[in-house]
Structure 1
Amino acid sequence: MENTNCYHCGTDCGRSPVEYDEKAFCCNGCKMVYEIFSENDLSYYYELQSAAGATPQEQEGKYDFLDAPAIIEKLLEFNDGNMQVVNLYIPHIHCSSCIWILENLNKLNTGIKGSQVDFPKKTVRITFNSEVISLKQLAIMMNRIGYEPQITLADFDEKPTNVDRSLIYKLGIAGFAFGNVMFLSFPEYFDLNTNQETGGEYWLNEYQDLFRWIMFFFSLPVVLYSGRDYFISAFKGIRSRMLNIDVPIALGILVLFLRSTVDIIFNWGPGFFDSLTGLVFFLLLGKFFQQKTYSFLSFERDYKSYFPIAVTRFTEEGKEEIAQIYEIKKGDRLLIRNEELIPADGVLMKGDGHIDYSFVTGEAEPVRKKSGEKVFAGGKQLHGAIEMEIVKPVSQSYLTQLWGNAVFNDEKSGRFQTLTDSIGRRFTIAVLSIATISTSIWLLIDPSLALNVFTAVLIIACPCAIALAAPFTLGNMLRIFGKKKFYLKNTQAIEQLAQIDTAIFDKTGTITTSAKSVANYEGLPLTEEEESLLKNTLRSSNHPLSRSLYDLLAEHDIEVLEDYEELTGKGIQASGSKGNIKIGSADFVGSPSAQNIENTSVHIRANDAYKGCFVFRNTYRKGVAHLFEEMGKELQLALLSGDNAGEKKRLQALLPATTPFYFNQKPEDKLHFIKKIQEKGKKVLMVGDGLNDAGALAQANIGIAISENINVFSPACDAILDATKFNELYSYIQASKKAMRIIKMSFVLSLMYNMVGLYFAVSGQLEPVIAAILMPLSSISIVAFTTVATNILGKKLK
C-alpha cells in the first residue's frame, strides 16, 4: 500500500489517514489547522510551501499558568490595560510560510492588532487587545495552528544568550568522528596493510574491512545530523528556484558520502570518509567562529553604544538637572516635556498624560493618563509636561529595539546587501559549471581523480568569504561610530551615508546652539503673572528656542497648566490660573509689526493682547564654517530654515558662497523640497534637530538628528549625532565611503583566493580535506582583514 503524507505537516499518515476536503491528514489536529486556515482565507500558506506546518500538540491545562497576573506582567513588554505587547519564542519557525502565517495572525482573531517575526531569533512580537483575547488564549491559539510558543520564566531577568547550542553539539560530533576516522585511516595512509620487506600482509589486513565499516558508521551522524543544515538550506533554495551558497557544499558532502559507501561495498578502496568528516567539521568550525564574532559585535552595540538621550531629573532638593538616560534608576522622579519619550516604566505623579504609544504598538490614538496611573517605556508625551516616578530601570536595549521597530522602517535599505546576495548566487552558478566541466574532462583523462576534482572545486570555491565581507565590515563600523558618539540605526545606514551627493541642513538647533544664546526683549513689559505663565509654558516645550528662552528667564514657582498645545512650525498656546498665552511666530500670535523684525524672534501674546518679542542673536556651532567648506568640495549643500531671512547676511559670510538658503520653510515644505530633489536622482542627507524635522528626516535617504543635552528621540531618523561631534560629520561620511572600499577590497581578495584555489582543484592537485581546511581559513582571513582595516580607520576618527 502506497504511503500518504499529511497535507499540512508532511508526515506519514499511516494506514488510516484523516480525510477532509479531498486531502489526507495524519491526525485531527492537522485537519483542524487546515480548517482554520481555510475559514480565515489563509490557505495561501500551502502555496508558499507545501507541508510546512507542524502537528499541533494539545495538552490539557498546559497554559493555565498564564492566568496568573504576576506571570503575565513579567512576560509582557507593554501593558496598558487593554492593549498589550508580547515577544514569544517559536522554535518551529523555519521558512517563508511560517513568517507569512505568523504575520497574518490578525486574520485568525480580531483581538490581534499586528505581529512581526524576527526570523533569525525565531521570535514573533504580537500586539493584541486583552479584552478580546488573553495571553493564555493567544498561546492556545498558536499551539492549535502548530506554532507552539516556548515560554520559560527562569531566565527572564537575564539577557538571553546568543550561543546556538545545537551548533556546539553538531561541531562536537563532527570533531569526534573526524578524529576517530583519521585514526582508523592511518593504515591506509602509510600502507600498513602490506609488509614492504617480505611482501606479506600485516595483521592489520585482517581488520581492514572492519575499520572501513566503522568509518562508515562514524560518518553517518556527521552527514545526517552535523551536516543536515546544509542539505535543508540547499533543498529550500532549489525548491524556491534559488541557488544559495549551501548548494555546492551539500552536493560535495553527498557525493563524498555516496562514493565512499560504494567504494567499501565493492571493496574498491577506503573511500573518502576522512575528507567527508573533516569537511563538515571545518565548515562548522568556521560557522562557530562567525557566530561568536557576531555575538561580540551585538554585545558591543547593545550595551556600549548608548543613545545620547538625556532626561530632566529632580534632585532631592527639588531642583531640575540633566541626567544621561542610562543613569536613571528606580525611584527617580523625571520631568517629561512635550514630544519627549518616556524612557522607562513608571507612575504618573503630576500633570495630564496624553501619551502616544504608536512607537510600541503602531496604534496612533493617544492614551489619556491621570495622576497615579502607570505609564510605559516607549510612549511619547503630547500636550504639555508631566512628572513621573520610575518603577523599573531603563532598558537601553529596549530603546534600540524601539528605534528599529518595523512600524518606522520606510524601506530605506541600501542595495549593497542585495548586491552581496546577487554575487553569491552568480558565484554558485559559476562554481557548479566549473565543477561539472572539469569533472567531465577528468573522466576522460583519469577517472580515478574525477571525484576528487569535483569535490575539491565545490569546497574551495564556496563564496562564504564574499558573504561575510559586508556584514563584518559594516557591523564593526557601527561599533566604532558608536564610540565616537555617532549612533546609526543599522548597517544599511552606513551604505546610504557613503552614497549621498546632497546634504541639507536645518538651521535652528542644528547649526546653531542654544547653549550660548542671547535674547533681547522688545515690547510692553510683562507682569509677574504673565512672566510666570510664560516660564511654565516654555518648561513644557522641547523646541530649541523654547529651551533657550526658558534658561534665560528668571526662576518662578512651578505651576501645572490647565491647557497646553504645541503646533509644529508655529508655536505654543496654553492657559493656566494666571491667564492664557500664545508664544511663537509673528503670524501665529498676530504681531502688528511682523514685517519689521528681521532677526530670529519669539513673539508673545498674553491674555489676548500682543506684548512683544524676544529677539535672538544666534550662536553658531564651533567649526560650522570649516565643515561646510569641506563638504562643499564634494557635495551639493543647502540650508532650510523655518525662521525668517534676518540671519541671511551672517550666514552668507559664514558659509560657502554657493550654498543656497531657503527661509520661512514649514515642516511640510522641507519634506517636499527633499522629495523634489530625489526625483532628480539625488541621494539626500538631511541633518536636523529631530523635532520639527521628523518628516524631512524620514523622507531623506538618510536622516541625522543632532542631540544637545535634551534629545527628542525620533525613530524617523537613521542616525543620532552628539552635538559635540557636529564638526566631525564630514569625517564620518568619509569613513563610510572608506568602509565600502574595504568591502570591495575584501571581494577582490576573496576572488583572488578562489582563482588560485580553483587552479589547484581543477588540476587535481588538491585533496578535498585540504580544501575543507582552507575554506574556513579564507573566511577567517577575510573577517580578520575587515576587522583590522576598520579598526585602523576608526583610530583616525576624532
Structure 2
Amino acid sequence: MDTQNCFHCGLDIVKEAEILFDAKTFCCAGCKTVYEIFSLNDLTSYYDFEKSPGATPQEIKGKYDFLENENIVAKLLEFQEDTTAIVSLSIPHIHCSSCIWILENLQRLQKGISNSQVNFPEKKVRIIYNSNEVSLSEIVQLLCSIGYEPYISLENYETTKAKTDRSLTYKLGVAFFCFGNIMLLSFPEYFEVKEFWLDNYKPFFRWLIFALSLPSFLYSASGYYVSAYKSIKSGMLNIDIPIALGIVVFFIRSTVDIVMDYGSGFFDSLTGLVFFMLLGKMFQIKTYSFLSFERDFKSYFPVAVTRINTDASEESVAVYDIQKGDRLLIRNQELIPVDGILISENATIDYSFVTGEAIPINKKSGDKVFAGGKQIGEVIEMEVLFSVSQSYLTQLWSNDVFQKNVEQKHKNITDSISRYFTPILLLIAFVGFAYWIFKDANTAFNVFTAVLIVACPCALALTAPFTLGNVLRIVGKQKFYLKNALVIEQLAKVDTIVFDKTGTITTNKKSNISYEGEPLSEANLIRIKSVLRASNHPLSRMLYDFLPDVGKVKISDFEEITGKGIQAKVVGNFIRIGSAAFAGNSEENSGLQTSVHIQINGEYYGKYIFKNEYREGLEQLFNSLKSKYEIKVLSGDNAGEKAALGQLLPKSTELVFNQKPEQKLEFIRQLQESGKNVMMVGDGLNDAGALAQSNVGISISENVNVFSPACDAILEASQFEKLDYFLKFSKKAMLVIKMSFGLSLLYNVVGLTFAVTGKLEPLVAAIIMPLSTVTIVSFVTLMSNYYARKLIKVRS
C-alpha cells in the first residue's frame, strides 16, 4: 500500500485512512484538529521551524477531572494571588524549536493566559494566567489537544519532577556488554590460535560476534542516527551526522567481510567506538550536572532578613537560616523570601518580580503572602510557613521580565565554528577515502571512519560553558554572585566604573552621628525610631541603630519618597525625616554636610549630622583601578564631603553630587552614548534604574533583604575591596576561553593529520575523542583555578 507522511506529526498514513484538509494530509482527526486550531489563530508558523514537529493528540476524556478540585489545584500552583496564578508543568514531548514557539504563544490560543515561558533543558513550561478567565483544567486540556500532554503526579505533587531519563545509562551498559564479549570472543583471531580456531568454529564465532554487535549498533548508537536524521531533515548539519555515518560504514564494511569471508570484520572496534563515545557523552552530562549543582548551592544571595525573637529583640539572619514558625520583620521595599502568614493588620505587596504585573495587592491579617513579593509602605510582621527556597529566588533573579537584551557572543562563536565544521569534516573524509581506495581498500575504510570520529567539535563546544561555569563557582565562593555566565564577558569589556556614594563606598555599619537642633523628648525619639524602622535607606538604617532602644509604637500611612525622605503618622503625629527641603528647613546650606532632618507635625526640630565612614581598602582599590578605568562617583547627598573625598580618591575621579535616581540613570545613558562600556556599583535602593541601565550593574549588600533583579551581580560588602580582583579575573577567564579554543583546534588538526595518512585506527580515534573532552575540561578548570590563585597572591 502507498503511504505518505502526516503534515502535522510526520507519521506514515495508509492511503485508505488519510484525511485531506486545506490541501494537506493528516493521519487522524486529532492532527487535523490541531492544524485547524493553529490555522484559525494564525499560528501556522509553527510548521516553519521544523517539518512535522507535532505529536498526535491523545484522547484524554476524564483523565484530568481532578483538576476541578480547588484544593488539589492550590497544591500544584507555585503562586496564586488575587486573579493571578502561576503553574509549572512538565511537558515530555518538548523536543524542538517549534515546540518552544507554540508553547510560548499559548496566550494566542487561550484567553486568560498572559505569559508562558519554556525551560527547554528541563522540558517544562511556566504559565502565568488569570484564574477568573481560565482554569488550570482548561489549560491542561488545551495542551493535550495540541499534542503537549503534561506529566502531573499527584502522589508527590509538592516536589513533582518528571521521571529521570536513564536511557543513556542503559545504552552505555548494553554497549559495554557487547564490546567486552566481542573482545573476548575475538582473542583466537587476535592471536591466530590455529589449534582452536578450526574451520568448523570460525564461521560460528564470527556470526556470534555479528549477533552481539547488533544491540550496540541498533540500540546503543540509535541516538546518533535519530539526531543525524533530524539534523538533515531540518537542513542543519550537526556533528552527529559524521559520527552516525562512520558507525554505519563500519558496520556495513564488517558485515561484508564476514559474508564474503574476507576476515572477521571490525565489530570489536565498532562496539568499542560506540561504548567510548557514549562514555564521553556521559562524562559531559555528569560534569554539566556537577557545575549546575555547584552554581545552585553556592549562589545563595548574600542577603539577610530581620527575625523577631521570642524576647521581642530583632536580629539579622541569613535567608537560608529561616525556619518554619519564625516571625520575620519586613521593611519597605524588602523582598519577602518565603511563603508565610501575615500577622500585621494589613500590607501592600508588589508581586511584579513574580508576575511582571506592577499593580500592588492589599493583604490583611491572616492572609497568605508568597515569596518574591516586595513590601510597599510601613513595616510588617509575618510568620514563616516554609523554609527558604534558594532555587526559587534564583528563578526570580533570572526571570525574563528583568533580563537585559544582550547578545551572547561566546555562544555565537561556538555555533558558527560548529556550523562550518561538519561540512568541512565530511569533505576531508570523502577526499581521504577517494585517495586511499585506489591504493588500499582496508586503509581507505579506516581513514574514512577515523576522520569522521576523531575530528569532533565537542571539545570546541565545551570550552566557553565550562570555563565560565567554573568562574561562576570560584567567584561565588568569594561572595560575588553573578546572575549568569554572560556577566563575566561583560565585566571583561568594562572601561568606565561609576560608584554610588552612600551605602556603596561608605558603610552603614559605622558612622559618627551628632544632633543639632531643639531637644527631642523620649516620646518623639520613640516616634522617630518607629518610622525609621520601616525604611531601608542606608542613612535610615544607620540612624535607627544609633538611636537608643526606647520602645516601639504603631505607625500608619508610611511613605518613602525616593530622593527626599520618609513620612508616616505615629499615634496622631505626622513625622517627616529626610532632606532639608523635605523637612521644611529652607535655610539649610545644602553644600556643607551629610544630614537627615526631622519635622514633627509641621514643625522643624533639627538635624542629625553624619560623618561617614568609608569602606576599608577604598583608597587602595581606587588607586589600582585608576590606570585602566575611568572612575566616577555619584551621590544623592550634598557636596559636604567633596573635600574629604578629593583627598581620599585619585585626582582623576569625577565627583557628582545632588543626583536624583533619574539623573543617575541619565548620567549612565550619556556615558554609553559616548561609547563607554559602563559598570555601575550601587546599593540597590535608589540606584535600581542606573543598575538596570548600565552594561553591568553590581549591587553591594550589607545585611538587609533588599534584592533587585535589575542588577547583574550581588557583591557582599565585606568583599568590596576585591572588586579589582574580580575585574582582572574576568579578563583572564576570556583569555582561558581563547587558549582552550586554540588547544581544541590544534587537537583536531593533529588528529585529522594522522587519520588522513592512515596512521590512526578507528578504535583509537574513538578512545581519543572522549579524552579530548576530558583534556579541555581539565585544562579550563586548572587554568581558571590557577589565575584565581595567582591574582589573589598578587593582591596580597
Alignment partners' CA distance in 2, 1:480 and 1:56: 47
Alignment partners' CA distance in 1, 2:624 and 2:49: 52
Residue 116 to residue 471, structure 1, CA distance change in 2 (3 Å) = same
Q: Which structure 2 residues correspond to residues 7-26 of structure 1 after superposition, within 5 A?
A: 7-14=7-14, 15-26=16-27
Structure 2 residue aligned with 1:330: 324
Structure 2 residue aligned with 1:172: 173
Structure 2 residue aligned with 1:749: 743
Q: SS of the counterpart of 1:625?
A: helix
Offset at residue 294 of structure 1 (A): 1.8
Q: SS of the counterpart of 1:581?
A: strand
Alignment partners' CA distance in 1, 2:540 and 2:202: 88
Determine whether 1:470 maps to 2:471: no
Q: Which moved more, 1:117-126 or 1:415-424?
A: 415-424
Q: Which structure 2 residues correspond to residues 754-773 of structure 1 after superposition, within 5 A?
A: 754-773=748-767
Q: SS of the counterpart of 2:78?
A: strand
Amino acid at match of 1:110: K
Structure 2 residue aligned with 1:198: none
Check whether the contact 1:530–1:578 (CA below 8 A) recurs between aligned residues. Answer: no
Structure 2 residue aligned with 1:778: 772
Determine whether 1:252 maps to 2:246: yes
Amino acid at match of 1:547: R
Offset at residue 389 of structure 1 (A): 0.5
Q: Which structure 2 residues correspond to residues 142-291 of structure 1 after superposition, within 5 A?
A: 142-156=143-157, 164-192=165-193, 204-291=198-285
Alignment partners' CA distance in 2, 1:550 and 1:157: 41
Alignment partners' CA distance in 2, 1:156 and 1:487: 31
Check whether the contact 2:378–2:556 (CA below 8 A) recurs between aligned residues. Answer: no
Alignment partners' CA distance in 1, 2:23 and 2:161: 45
Alignment partners' CA distance in 1, 2:190 and 2:282: 30
Alignment partners' CA distance in 2, 1:343 and 1:754: 49
Check whether the contact 1:414–1:496 (CA below 8 A) recurs between aligned residues. Answer: no
Alignment partners' CA distance in 2, 1:207 and 1:464: 42
Q: Which moved more, 1:149-158 or 1:6-15?
A: 149-158
Residue 172 to residue 693, structure 1, CA distance change in 2 (3 Å) = same
TM-score scaled by length of structure 2: 0.95
Alignment partners' CA distance in 2, 1:428 and 1:686: 42
Aligned residues: 791
Give the counterpart of 2:400 among 368, 392, 406: 406
Structure 1 residue aligned with 2:439: 445
Give the counterpart of 1:533 among 516, 522, 527: 527
Check whether the contact 1:431–1:461 (CA below 8 A) recurs between aligned residues. Answer: yes
Q: SS of the counterpart of 2:434?
A: helix
Structure 2 residue aligned with 1:317: 311
Structure 2 residue aligned with 1:67: 68
Offset at residue 763 of structure 1 (A): 0.7
Alignment partners' CA distance in 1, 2:258 and 2:578: 88
Pairwise CA RMSD of aligned residues? 2.2
Amino acid at match of 1:5: N
Alignment partners' CA distance in 2, 1:653 and 1:162: 63
Offset at residue 56 of structure 1 (A): 1.3
Offset at residue 794 of structure 1 (A): 3.9
Determine whether 1:297 maps to 2:295: no
1:443-469 CA distances to partner (integer Å, 9 max, x unpaired)?
333333112111111211111111112
Alignment partners' CA distance in 2, 1:251 and 1:589: 79
Determine whether 1:789 maps to 2:783: yes
Amino acid at match of 2:181: N
TM-score scaled by length of structure 1: 0.95
Offset at residue 585 of structure 1 (A): 2.3
Alignment partners' CA distance in 2, 1:787 and 1:104: 40
Structure 1 residue aligned with 2:97: 96
Offset at residue 203 of structure 1 (A): 5.4
1:208-259 CA distances to partner (integer Å, 9 max, x unpaired)?
4444444444444334432233233334444444333333222322332333
Offset at residue 676 of structure 1 (A): 2.1
Give the counterpart of 1:647 among 634, 641, 645: 641
Check whether the contact 2:65–2:137 (CA below 8 A) recurs between aligned residues. Answer: yes
Structure 1 unaligned segments of length 5 or more: list them: 196-201
Check whether the contact 2:237–2:422 (CA below 8 A) recurs between aligned residues. Answer: yes
Check whether the contact 1:351–1:387 (CA below 8 A) recurs between aligned residues. Answer: no
Q: Which moved more, 1:466-475 or 1:229-238?
A: 229-238
Q: Which moved more, 1:251-260 or 1:463-472?
A: 251-260
Identity %: 58
Offset at residue 98 of structure 1 (A): 0.2
Offset at residue 638 of structure 1 (A): 1.1
Q: SS of the counterpart of 2:52?
A: coil
Offset at residue 404 of structure 1 (A): 1.0
Q: Which moved more, 1:608-617 or 1:66-75?
A: 66-75
Determine whether 1:568 maps to 2:568: no
Alignment partners' CA distance in 1, 2:118 and 2:133: 22
Amino acid at match of 1:277: T
1:274-330 CA distances to partner (integer Å, 9 max, x unpaired)?
222222211110111121122222222222332111000100011111111111001
Check whether the contact 1:351–1:385 (CA below 8 A) recurs between aligned residues. Answer: no
Q: SS of the counterpart of 2:17?
A: coil
Alignment partners' CA distance in 2, 1:396 and 1:374: 20
1:671-700 CA distances to partner (integer Å, 9 max, x unpaired)?
222222223332221111011111111122
Structure 2 residue aligned with 1:523: 517
Give the counterpart of 2:669 among 649, 664, 675: 675
Q: Which moved more, 1:551-560 or 1:463-472?
A: 551-560
Residue 673 to residue 241, structure 1, CA distance change in 2 (3 Å) = farther
Q: Which moved more, 1:286-295 or 1:225-234?
A: 225-234
Structure 1 residue aligned with 2:578: 584
Offset at residue 795 of structure 1 (A): 4.2
Give the counterpart of 2:360 among 352, 360, 366: 366
Check whether the contact 2:273–2:766 (CA below 8 A) recurs between aligned residues. Answer: yes
Q: SS of the counterpart of 2:698?
A: strand
Check whether the contact 1:746–1:782 (CA below 8 A) recurs between aligned residues. Answer: yes
Offset at residue 262 of structure 1 (A): 4.0
Q: SS of the counterpart of 1:4?
A: strand
Alignment partners' CA distance in 2, 1:154 and 1:793: 49
Structure 1 residue aligned with 2:540: 546
Amino acid at match of 2:394: T
Amino acid at match of 1:396: Q
Q: SS of the counterpart of 2:5?
A: coil
Amino acid at match of 1:376: F
Alignment partners' CA distance in 1, 2:657 and 2:677: 22
Offset at residue 81 of structure 1 (A): 4.3
Check whether the contact 1:187–1:204 (CA below 8 A) recurs between aligned residues. Answer: no
Alignment partners' CA distance in 1, 2:637 and 2:232: 59
Structure 1 residue aligned with 2:335: 341
Check whether the contact 2:505–2:614 (CA below 8 A) recurs between aligned residues. Answer: yes
Offset at residue 162 of structure 1 (A): 10
Offset at residue 155 of structure 1 (A): 4.6
Check whether the contact 1:603–1:614 (CA below 8 A) recurs between aligned residues. Answer: yes
Residue 783 to residue 651, structure 1, CA distance change in 2 (3 Å) = same
Residue 281 to residue 579, structure 1, CA distance change in 2 (3 Å) = same
Residue 3 to residue 541, structure 1, CA distance change in 2 (3 Å) = same
Offset at residue 48 of structure 1 (A): 1.6
Check whether the contact 2:5–2:12 (CA below 8 A) recurs between aligned residues. Answer: yes
Q: Which moved more, 1:564-573 or 1:382-391?
A: 564-573
Residue 61 to residue 681, structure 1, CA distance change in 2 (3 Å) = same
Alignment partners' CA distance in 2, 1:109 and 1:717: 34
Check whether the contact 2:459–2:744 (CA below 8 A) recurs between aligned residues. Answer: yes
Alignment partners' CA distance in 2, 1:61 and 1:341: 41
Q: Which structure 2 residues correspond to residues 720-735 of structure 1 after superposition, within 5 A?
A: 720-735=714-729
Offset at residue 516 of structure 1 (A): 0.9
Alignment partners' CA distance in 1, 2:57 and 2:590: 75
Offset at residue 170 of structure 1 (A): 1.5
Structure 1 residue aligned with 2:372: 378
